[in-house]
Structures are given as C-alpha cells and as structure tokens.
Amino acid sequence: MSELTEFAPAKVNLTLAVGAARADGYHPLESIVAFTDWGDEVAATPAGELTLKLEGAGAAPLRGDPQNLVLKAAFALRAAAERPELGAALTLTKTLPVAAGLGGGSADAAAALRLLNRLWDIGFSTRQLAEIGTVVGADVPACVHARPLLMTGIGDKITPLVAWPALHAVILNPGVPVSTAEVFKAFDDGAPAPLPDAKPPVAGEFETALARLSAGRNDLEAPARSIAPAILAAMDALAAAPGARLTRMSGSGASCFALFEDAGAAGAAAAGLAARHPSWSVRAVLLQGAA
C-alpha cells in the first residue's frame, strides 16, 4: 500500500468556560470549538513496527519526547483493535506552534487515529475513534470529529453543531510557550465562576454567531496573562486591527484570535500585523463551518 496522509487542523476555542476542579483534578468545561484550514500533517506507510519521524519547522521542541501523542494514539488504536501485530512508519510534519493553545498535539493524535483506522482497515466509526482518544488526551475526542462542536464534561462529551457558519479569523501567537498546567494552577488559585448552561448554539450566519460568541468568555485568559503578559499585547494588537469584530485567547494560550466579516478583511489585518510584529506568528485562517 502506498503512503496515506491525514490533515491535523488547529483547534480554536471560540469560548471556554471552566468550572472548579473536581475531586480527581479534572476541570468541567463548556467550549464552542472550531477547526481551521491550517494545521499539521500525519503520513503513514505499512511497516513491521510502530515508528515516528518528525519533520517541519515546528518539530524541534518535540524531538526526544518519548510521550509523543501520535505514537500514544497509534498504540491505543492497536490495543483497541486487539491487533498487536499491526505496524506503521509514521511521519509528523509539524507546522503548528507547540504549547500554543491550538490543540496541536491533540490534533496530531486524532489525525493518527483517523489515518491508521484507514491504513489498517479497522473500520472503527468516528464515535469509536473519539472514545479511544479519551485515553490519549482530553482534547483528542473533539479533534477526532474536527468540525464545529460544543465540548462539555472534561472535554469528552461532544455535540456537533448542525448550523454553524464558516468564520474568517486571524490567529496571532506572540512566540511565548505557555504551560497548560501552570495556567490551570493559576486559575485554581482564583475563584472560578459557575459554568453556564450548556446549550448547543444554532447560528446560520456571521452576525448571529458573533452575538453568541460575544456572550461567551475564556476563563483561562486572566490566569494565562498573569503568566505571559505578551498575551495581552497580542490581544491588544488584534483588537486594534481594522475590521476586527471579536478578540479572544484560544485554549490556555498563548495564541489569540480575532474574527472578521470576510476573507479580505482578515487577510489585510494579518498582513498589517505581520509587518508590525515580525517576530510573532500571524496567520489568516478559515474556521470551517458545519457541513
């Protein structure tokens, strides 16, 4: 069989409400999530064992890490299929920044699950792959679906959105990696607000979606900014961009995003931001709508 590939799109938390930690340390959450046309790529060919090669501009921070989520996902899928003899030579081409609040590692793991499900002809459904993903990481089930969705529970409960528009955005990362564990520790030191009622939104066009998102929040913004002040500078720069309608941090940071009404406005804003902040990562993206 020739090489197969799978796209691993960046995940953007358009909203992220977080509750107080449970007894087991996990945090309940409610998040509207969308996926971009920007991401990593996972490739695979049949082999006698499971191996992983890292390539791409963003691969350096991952070299030497024995806990790479792509391999963890591969072993989890093989165990779930009860096929210990299965192997593959995997290649991860890393484009997304690491520790950036874009779910890059989870997206890579989810892409590996979808890819190996095809390569090995296992035949698991998307729901089954998402269940397997729960043992790999909290964000992996959402990334398996890779479509607009409402994420609740501890990230394990997924409700696909049936009416959600494609959205134009600019993602800006100030180049400061942020530890998710440190952000949650700072969050826990505060006074978490009650979680809102989780109701899947219906928004067939831009203004309706914008109104729904504007009523939301990201509860990790304040603790993340206390750890990495560059996040506030990034958000201020995005908010000042002509045409920016909503500015927010994604996930636990440090990546932030702004929504724009059309591709032209997003592209112009990205070009201006890149010129003014050459050391930052700036990207105009399309947040995919519901199919």
Given a contact cutoff of 8 angstroms between Cβ atoms, the answer to whether 49 and 28 are in contact is no
Residue 197 is among the residues annotated as catalytic for this protein: no
Nearest to 154 by CA among 138, 133, 142, 141: 138
Cβ neighbors of 272 (< 8 A, separation 6 or more) are: 241, 242
Q: In 3-state terms, what secondary structure has residue 191?
A: coil
- Cα 136 from Cα 107, distance rounded (Å): 11
Among 72, 94, 108, 139, the active-site one is 139
Strands in the chain per DSSP E? 4-13, 17-18, 29-46, 50-55, 88-93, 149-152, 157-160, 167-173, 246-249, 256-260, 281-287
Residue 139 is among the residues annotated as catalytic for this protein: yes
* Count of C-beta atoms within a 10 Å radius of residue 180: 16
CA–CA distances in Å: residue 61 to residues 5, 148, 276 = 22, 29, 26
- Cα 83 from Cα 161, distance rounded (Å): 34
Residues annotated catalytic, as ranges: 11, 139
